[in-house]
Amino acid sequence: MSSEAEALRDLLRVVVEALTLPSDVNTDRRIVDRAMWVQVTVKGALKDAPEDLAWNAEYLRRKLTQEEAKRAR
């Protein structure tokens, strides 16, 4: 694996860590839901082959679009 790819994977690991909120934090449900989706997406990207990164990004975009459409109703 190239050092560039490993650097990207390391960055994604840090993002997951940053978005993992303590369960006792009282915060807006929407932010918690989005953080969960980001965490699931990035964890999936870390497990998948690099060529599947685009699929993971598209999954997250769909989740956000669905959430925004639901809120607009």
| pLDDT tens track for 31-53 | 888 888 888 888 888 886 777 77
pLDDT given at position 55 = 81
Position with higher pLDDT, 23 vs 53: 53
pTM: 0.67
In eight-state DSSP terms, residue 71 is: H
Q: Residue 41 is part of which domain span?
A: 3-72
Number of domains in the chain: 1
Q: Residue 29 has which token pair?
A: 């449900």
Distance, in Å, from the CA atom of 64 to the CA atom of 61, rounded to the nearest integer, reads 5
